[in-house]
């Protein structure tokens, strides 16, 4: 890979950002699938996961088309930076999410007790 550095001087940054984006995507995926598994009964769990997978397969080509259109309008370098910053911000919010979810669960339990 070192032979690519004279051709693409920003290649090491792309590798670093790609690694960070992969970590963020894996973390988001784990939390998302755990949420689906906990909140669906075992009877419909297969249907829930197949629906989630089908939605992902539909959304990815749409996102790629949208990225192509944005690449024609805006500089690609800025879009790449933004596409790596968004997952980073999401992973930071996921790190704070368990505290928020526990607060929501407490509020929902109190609301059920009142009704």
Q: What is the pLDDT of residues 65-114, one digit of tens each?
A: 888 888 889 888 888 788 778 877 877 777 776 666 666 666 677 767 76
Give the structural domain span for 34.
11-18+27-114
In a domain, 4, yes or no: no
When divided into structural domains, the chain yields a total of: 1
Is the Cβ–Cβ distance between 79 and 14 less than 8 Å? no
Q: What is the pLDDT of residues 13-51, one digit of tens each?
A: 778 877 877 887 787 788 888 888 888 888 888 898 999
In a domain, 44, yes or no: yes
Report which of 18, 33, 19, 17 is spatially closest to residue 94, judged by C-alpha positions. Answer: 33
In a domain, 66, yes or no: yes
Q: Structure pTM?
A: 0.52
Is the Cβ–Cβ distance between 91 and 23 less than 8 Å? yes
In a domain, 46, yes or no: yes
User: How many beta carbons lie within 10 A of that of residue 85, not counting itself?
Assistant: 14
């Amino acid at each position: 890979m070192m032979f690519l550095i004279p051709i693409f001087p920003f290649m090491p940054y792309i590798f670093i950002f790609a690694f960070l984006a992969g970590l963020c995507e894996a973390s988001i995926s784990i939390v998302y699938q755990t949420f689906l598994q906990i909140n669906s009964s075992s009877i419909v769990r297969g249907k829930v996961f197949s629906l989630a997978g089908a939605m992902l397969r539909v959304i990815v080509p749409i996102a790629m088309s949208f990225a192509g259109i944005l690449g024609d309008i805006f500089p690609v370098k800025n879009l790449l930076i933004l596409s790596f910053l968004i997952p980073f911000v999401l992973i930071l919010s996921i790190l704070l999410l368990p505290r928020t979810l526990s607060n929501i669960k407490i509020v929902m339990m109190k609301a059920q007790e009142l009704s």
